[in-house]
């Protein structure tokens, strides 16, 4: 584990984990008394890619299609796909 922090405003906490010798990390979030809603909370994992269009093209060749439109912010672009189990 890299770090773990309680967040008073949300009455929750988050932890950052990373495997030894790895550049990737995973942030896990938990919020007390917050109702889970599929699609916008604790139900996804994100991966950074150099070229989103290329990554989506490679996934499309394997039969994987986005389940939402591509969204954009000032610093990033993203979309959602399903895993092999349909999640």
Q: What is the pLDDT of residues 45-75, one digit of tens each?
A: 778 899 999 999 999 999 888 888 889 988 8
pLDDT tens digits for range 22-37 = 887 788 777 777 666 6
Handedness of CA 55, 58, 62, 67 (dihedral sign): positive
What per-residue confidence (pLDDT) applies to 55?
A: 94
Whole-model pTM: value is 0.54
CB atoms within 10 A of CB 6: 9
The pLDDT score that the predictor gives to residue 77 is 92
Report the candidate in 32, 55, 53 with the shortest Cα–Cα distance to residue 42.
Answer: 32
């Amino acid at each position: 584990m890299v770090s773990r922090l309680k967040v008073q405003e949300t009455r929750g906490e988050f932890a950052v984990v990373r495997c030894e010798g790895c550049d990737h990390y995973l942030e896990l979030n938990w919020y007390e008394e917050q109702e889970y809603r599929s699609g916008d909370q604790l139900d996804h994992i994100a991966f950074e890619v150099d070229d989103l269009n290329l990554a989506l093209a490679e996934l499309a060749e394997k039969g994987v299609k986005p389940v939402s439109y591509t969204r954009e912010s000032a610093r990033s672009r993203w979309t959602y796909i399903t895993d092999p189990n349909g999640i």
